[in-house]
Amino acid sequence: MDIAYVLYPNMTALDLVGPYEVLGHPTVRRHFVAASTGPVRCDNGLTLHADTTFAELPGADVIVVPGSSRWRDALTDTTMIDWLAAAHPSATWTTSVCSGSTLLGKAGVLAGRRATSHWAVRDTLAADGATVVDERVVIDGDVITAAGVSAGIDMALTLAATLWGTETAELIQLALEYAPQPPFDAGTPETAPPAAVERLRAAFS
């Protein structure tokens, strides 16, 4: 099985690394694909390396698209958008984390589908023909969209169970010791302090 992890400038590293760690199955061939091979700088300063170009990799069984805190800039990356549009039809699963779903929307993948995104940008998916859903992981046909950043871990565990069965997904969860204990209850706009919601909604708009 081939998994394509899509890299682009100012992407959010955790959006990609969450699913990557969950989907680290020994049978997987991983491809870190970008416009060109070499370093790709993420929005908080970490640099990842792309080992394959869009031109070299026409598609994969699973596609994982991360988001970015500068998501509007990413929407102008026509090379990446065109690749997503071309690669999606032959993929078994096309997936996104956080604002990565806005890239799928731009590529035409979400038209007529239920989908989600980071809470602060979710509503923009409607312009691409999606039905916006307030759920952490949304499966519609062969497309899975996840909510913001950390939701990629939950998305990938769901996907792992589909690919390899529940027992294997549970083994992965145990390997990652994924029994989260957030020290605060502020992970959604419903539970966070209103000032934080306002501030982030403005920052991501």
Rounded to the nearest 10 degrees, the angle between the axes of helix 151-164 and helix 166-175 is: 140
Active site residue 98: yes
Which one is catalytic: 34, 50, 62, 98? 98
Is residue 181 close enough to count as binding a copy of itself by CB under 8 A?
yes
Taking only Cα atoms into account, the Rg of the chain, rounded to an integer number of angstroms, comes to 16
How far is it, in rounded angstroms, from Cα 174 to Cα 34?
31
How many C-beta atoms lie closer than 10 Å to residue 16's C-beta?
A: 25
| Residues of span 74-113 touching a copy of itself by CB under 8 A | 98
Asked if 65 interacts with a copy of itself (CB under 8 A), we say: no
Number of chain residues interacting with a copy of itself (CB under 8 A): 64
CA separation for the pair 65, 110 (Å, rounded): 13
CB closer to a copy of itself out of 67 and 105:
67
- CA-closest candidate to residue 158, choices 145, 148, 177: 145
Q: Does 59 bind a copy of itself (CB under 8 A)?
A: no
**What's the min distance (Å) between Cβ of 10 and a copy of itself?**
12
- Are 96 and 140 a contacting pair, CB within 8 Å? no
Q: 136, 140, 142, 164: which one contacts a copy of itself (CB under 8 A)?
A: 136
Question: Is 36 a residue that touches a copy of itself (CB under 8 A)?
Answer: no
171 binds a copy of itself (CB under 8 A): yes
Give the Å distances, CA to CA, from 129 to 13, 27, 76, 92, 106.
28, 36, 19, 22, 10
- 57 lies in the binding site for a copy of itself (CB under 8 A): no
Residue-wise burial string across 116-155, b where 16 or more C-beta atoms lie within 10 A, e elsewhere? bbbbbbbebbeebebebbeebbbbeeebbbbbbbbbbbbb
First to last CA, the chain: 37
What tokens were used for 40?
């790709």
**Residue 48 engages a copy of itself in binding (rule: CB under 8 A):** yes
194 binds a copy of itself (CB under 8 A): no
Q: Is residue 158 at the binding interface for a copy of itself, with CB under 8 A as the rule?
A: yes
Residue 110: CB minimum distance to a copy of itself, A: 19
Write out the residues near a copy of itself by the rule CB under 8 A: 5, 12-14, 17-18, 20-21, 24, 30, 32, 39, 43-49, 51, 98, 118-119, 136-137, 147-151, 153-154, 157-158, 161, 166-167, 169-171, 173-184, 186-189, 191-193, 195-197, 199-200
List active site positions. Answer: 98
